[in-house]
Amino acid sequence: MKVEALKYRTVFNSGGHAALEVGIMSDKRWYFSQIPSGQSAGEREAKVFSVPEVQSVWKKINLQAEGRKFKNLAEFDDFILRLDGTERKTVLGGNVLLGLSLAFARALADGKRMELWEILREEFFGKVRGVEYPVIYANLIEGGVHAQNNLDIQEYLVLAQTGPNPIATVGELIAFYETLGEYLANKAKLRPLPIGSESGYNLIWRNNEEPITALAKIIKATNLPFRIGLDVAASEFYEDGAYRFEGRKKTTLNLRNIYAKYFKKYPGLISLEDPFGENNRDGFREIMKNSEGRLVVGDDLTTTNPKEIERCAREKLISGVIIKANQIGTLSETCLAIETAHRNGLKCIISHRGQETEDVFLMHIARAANAYGVKIGAPGRERILKYNELLRLYP
Ligand code: PGA
Ligand code: ZN
């Protein structure tokens, strides 16, 4: 496929910050991508370029890529990765590389009259067949840096297993979100309820446990087959060798005991993401030994890096992993990260970012790879587009 022309412009993400849109022209048609960004980004993530930084490297990219032909996505990604030449994408920017990679993939897919997910499956997931319906990870109560409240834990998620009739599950999830909202509005005597970055409710709570109790209560009351997950994003409250939790300093062991208590009290709590800081490997190792079948999920720990995922799997630090394409930079590397995770027996949860755009590419990655889960926020605002794409791709 020939790259006939390239362009970029600034759009705005859900946080109102500048986000990158990249366009690639092939066969006289333009194909676009929009790149989300993290709010609680891990320190090993690919570098995000600001608008002036993108401007300063665009000419070089244009000169090199315009008019060139590539036989597939891997070849194109390889070419842009070589132009950058760094592990953390500090020369061209991770958002720039992903923007290019995704726009190219869309052009390639259209040229072959295929969907984006079909191109990804053909090129990177040769052995994957059929369809596996994903678990939706819906962040319904927000804290940490995604909200303006007193919760240290960043996300309280409802986990909904979809099946051959995903519209039913999505409908139940939307009803659940509304029922929870009604309950919380009455409890807090507050209308309308404030919401956080991912459209989850953003309220003041007695402690970090209370939202789990609320979710468990509504699950029981509605009798829906939903489970609970937490994304602690513990790197965000780790400072000077300790965790600052509920206004007090906590050691790794203190935190582990808190999680043990949650596990005991809430059997429906089956997924725990980033329970410790991204450099606290011992914390992960210990909790994995005592997780009793629950998923221990790496996000800031692994940053969608195939080498890190392999290492964490070998060291038995995690049983699941968050996949965010912009943490690593290109779709090829993202697919390799998933393949590495699957080869090591880890479950993959393909995830949005705190600051999303209207692009729905994450759902195509999930469909291509038959991923275990998709993390797409509460069913509101720009996040609902991901739900609708799920319904389109998983009929
Ligand atoms: P982020 O976290 O702010 O780093 O994108 C989002 C998430 O994990 O849901
Ligand atoms: Zn996370």
Split at pLDDT 50, 70, 90, the class of 262 is very high
**Number of folded domains that form the chain:** 2
Residues 192 and 284 in one domain: yes
b/e per residue 380-393 (b: at least 16 CB within 10 A): bebbbbbbebbeeb
pLDDT, tens digit, 9 for 90 and up, residues 275-324: 999 999 999 999 999 998 999 999 999 999 999 999 999 999 999 999 99
| Ligand approaching nearest to the C-alpha of 327 | 1
Whether residue 260 is predicted with pLDDT greater than 90 in this model: the reply is yes
| Res 241: pLDDT | 87
Whether residue 395 is predicted with pLDDT greater than 90 in this model: the reply is no
pLDDT, tens digit, 9 for 90 and up, residues 32-71: 999 999 999 999 999 999 999 999 999 999 999 999 999 9
Which range of residues forms the domain containing residue 313? Answer: 135-393
Ligand 1: centre distance to CA 146 (Å): 8
**In whole angstroms, how far apart are CA 189 and each of 183, 186, 193, 212, 371?**
10, 5, 9, 20, 40
The SS3 of residue 263 is helix
Closest-CA residue to 197 (of 235, 135, 155, 136): 155
**Which stretches does DSSP call E strand in 180-318?**
227-231, 238-239, 242-245, 248-250, 269-273, 295-298
Q: For ligand 1, what atom is nearest to the CA of residue 40?
A: 4
Domain annotation covers residue 128: no
Residues 107 and 216 in one domain: no
Does pTM surpass 0.95?
yes
Of 113, 148, 168, the position where a domain reaches its end is 113
| Ligand approaching nearest to the C-alpha of 232 | 2
Residues 60 and 139 in one domain: no
Domain annotation covers residue 123: no
Query: What is the number of residues in the chain?
Result: 395
| Res 240: pLDDT | 85
User: What is the residue type of 156?
Assistant: Y
Among residues 89, 324, 375, 386, which one is catalytic? Answer: 324
User: What is the residue type of 217?
Assistant: K
Domain annotation covers residue 125: no
Of 64, 80, 113, the position where a domain reaches its end is 113
Ligand 2: centre distance to CA 300 (Å): 6
Q: For ligand 1, what atom is nearest to the CA of residue 155?
A: 9
H or E element, residue 5: strand 5-12
Domain annotation covers residue 119: no
| CATH number for the domain that contains residue 52 | 3.30.390.10
| 198 carries an active-site annotation | yes
Ligand 2: centre distance to CA 341 (Å): 17
Per-chain mean pLDDT for the chain: 97
Residues 386 and 263 in one domain: yes
Q: For ligand 1, what atom is nearest to the CA of residue 36?
A: 5
Domain annotation covers residue 380: yes
- Which tokens hold the place of 306? 């195939």
Ligand 1 pocket, residues with Cβ under 6 angstroms: 38-41, 155, 231, 299, 351, 353-354, 375
Among residues 198, 278, 339, 389, which one is catalytic? Answer: 198
pLDDT, tens digit, 9 for 90 and up, residues 360-383: 999 999 999 999 999 999 999 999
Residues 213 and 101 in one domain: no
Residues 103 and 149 in one domain: no
| CATH number for the domain that contains residue 273 | 3.20.20.120
* Parallel/antiparallel/unpaired status of strands 238-239 and 29-35: unpaired
Residues 223 and 152 in one domain: yes
Who surrounds ion ligand 2 at CB < 5 A?
Answer: 231, 299
Of 56, 81, 113, the position where a domain reaches its end is 113
Domain annotation covers residue 121: no
Domain annotation covers residue 126: no
